Structure 1
Amino acid sequence: MVVQEFTVDLNKPLVFQVGHLEERYQEWVHQPIVSKEGPRFFGNDVLEFLTRTKWWAVPTIWLPVVCCLLVKSILMGHTVQDVAMMALFGIFIWTLIEYTLHRFLFHIETKTYWWNTAHYLLHGCHHKHPMDSLRLVFPPTATAILCFPFWNLVAFFATPSTTPALFGGGLLGYVMYDCTHYYLHHGQPSKDPAKHLKRYHLNHHFRIQDKGFGITSSLWDAVFGTLPPSMTSGKKN
């Protein structure tokens, strides 16, 4: 008896289908479908709503939080200059987190039902439908949940008065990352560095998906040897 291979029906909610692809999932998810309209994830309307986020929600929600955190460190005795330096350091650390998450978590290879399902929700959906404008930035609810462990991590290494500024800088780095990511997909930059970053990121989506993990810069790709081949040879993408 011949067992027919499972195929994904793009006209039905996708999340609980993709796991059935098993070992074929990686090949499937890295064959992008370029469409302005994204697929439906869930049959449940509430869950579906929670997966869709307008890009402007990110700065609208999180920039006031950043400001409050920076002011808190100032009120706890630090100068504006000191807080600015701590915030810049937080942004710098975020760029490393951005690279690390993208390379080692978002691009983890999966082949079982639940791991495929989790990966699709986390990042696979973005590679399958890279122009889905409502699933380009991280949902605020998920960001809020992740803020707790990241805050505790910063607090473990920093003092009570420097933690808000450092965390605020990291959070600002995240906002810059998400807004940049959206712009690289839907903006039309005419000048560098934005034009270069757009080429660099779309190269990651459509040509060499295991290189070029940086979004806001190629710094850590250069440090860790994951620049696309054309860049390592000194050519433009």
Structure 2
Amino acid sequence: MANRGAILRGRGPAVFSSTFIDHIVHVHPLVAVALYLPVIVVAAVASLDQAGPLALVGWAVGGYLTWTLVEYWGHRIVLHFEPEQGWGAWFHRIVHGLHHDYPQDSRRSIMTPLLSVPIVGTALVVSIVVLDLPSMYAAGFVLGYLAYDLIHLYLHHSRPKAGPMKWLHELHMRHHFRDDGRGFGVSAPYWDKVFGTAISRSRRAAQ
């Protein structure tokens, strides 16, 4: 997949003619915190009598690692599936295309609820209802998602000078400005190493 080339500044255009609907689809970043932090707290508290402390930590880590795989493969397969026309092209524009065109638009730096609500809801139902896992697993999954959203927002609207965030920022900017067909792990870029989609320092989009 070739890089888009033209990067537009400012706020992306509305997707829907209705301002109300458009503000539901692309929300302020604090909406994600308001939606999912209570889910994390409730799931964690509900799990306290379901297993011992060390086991609960293990379940939380397992949920988090599951999220990182969903993040990687969802970004690679779903968000970067780009039909040229029809419903698929429209859907891609809403959920990810405008973010690549307007990377500094904070409303498009977190995942649209069109995707996040079904993802989180499915994780809760499958892990708690279907598999009957301790709800700490779901808490770890949702915490991983929320951390991803906030890290992604931070990487687009800051210039970290050192530490892990500088590393993540550098890797994600390569995805945006060098080769958007690689570098799909935003909060967990180690999966790019595992699955062969890492962007090296010297790599160019034309390669």
Counterpart of 1:152, as a letter, is V
Unaligned runs of 5+ in 1: 1-25, 233-237
How far apart, in 2, do the equivalents of 1:63 and 1:221 lie?
A: 28
Alignment CA distance shift 1:128-1:58 (3 Å): same
Counterpart of 1:52, as a letter, is H
Matched residue, 2:125? 152
Note the alpha carbon deviations across 1:40-88, whole angstroms, 9 max, x for none: 222112212213322222223312210110111113x322332222111
How far apart, in 2, do the equivalents of 1:149 and 1:93 lie?
A: 13
Counterpart of 1:59, as a letter, is V
Deviation at 1:146, TM superposition (A): 3.3
Ranked by relative contact order (alpha carbons within 8 Å, sequence separation 6 or more), the top structure is 2
How far apart, in 2, do the equivalents of 1:119 and 1:140 lie?
A: 14
Contact 1:51 1:135 in 2 (8 A): no
Q: Does 1:85 align with 2:58?
A: yes
Contact 1:52 1:134 in 2 (8 A): yes
Match of 2:28 among 45, 49, 54: 54
Unaligned runs of 5+ in 2: none
- TM-score normalized with structure 2 length: 0.88
Note the alpha carbon deviations across 1:103-154, whole angstroms, 9 max, x for none: 1111113122211101111211111111111111124465334333222332
Structure 1 runs of 4+ off > 6 angstroms? Answer: none
Match of 1:216 among 182, 187, 190: 187
Match of 1:66 among 33, 37, 40: 40
Counterpart of 1:215, as a letter, is V
How far apart, in 1, do the equivalents of 2:18 and 2:68 lie?
A: 35
Match of 2:104 among 117, 131, 143: 131
Deviation at 1:95, TM superposition (A): 0.7
Contact 1:36 1:133 in 2 (8 A): no
Alignment CA distance shift 1:99-1:182 (3 Å): same
User: Quick check: which has more Rg, 1 or 2?
Assistant: 1
Matched residue, 2:76? 103
Match of 1:203 among 151, 162, 174: 174
Q: Which moved more, 1:93-102 or 1:129-138?
A: 129-138
How far apart, in 2, do the equivalents of 1:146 and 1:197 lie?
A: 24
Alignment CA distance shift 1:146-1:217 (3 Å): closer
Matched residue, 2:89? 116
Counterpart of 1:168, as a letter, is A
- TM-score normalized with structure 1 length: 0.78
How far apart, in 2, do the equivalents of 1:95 and 1:126 lie?
A: 20
How many residues in Structure 1 have an aligned counterpart in Structure 2? 203
Alignment CA distance shift 1:210-1:37 (3 Å): same
Match of 2:19 among 26, 45, 51: 45
Alignment CA distance shift 1:138-1:103 (3 Å): same
Contact 1:138 1:178 in 2 (8 A): yes
* Identical amino acids, percent of aligned pairs: 30
How far apart, in 2, do the equivalents of 1:199 and 1:229 lie?
A: 11
Contact 2:7 2:102 in 1 (8 A): yes
Contact 1:99 1:213 in 2 (8 A): yes
What is the Cα-based RMSD across aligned positions, in Å? Answer: 2.2
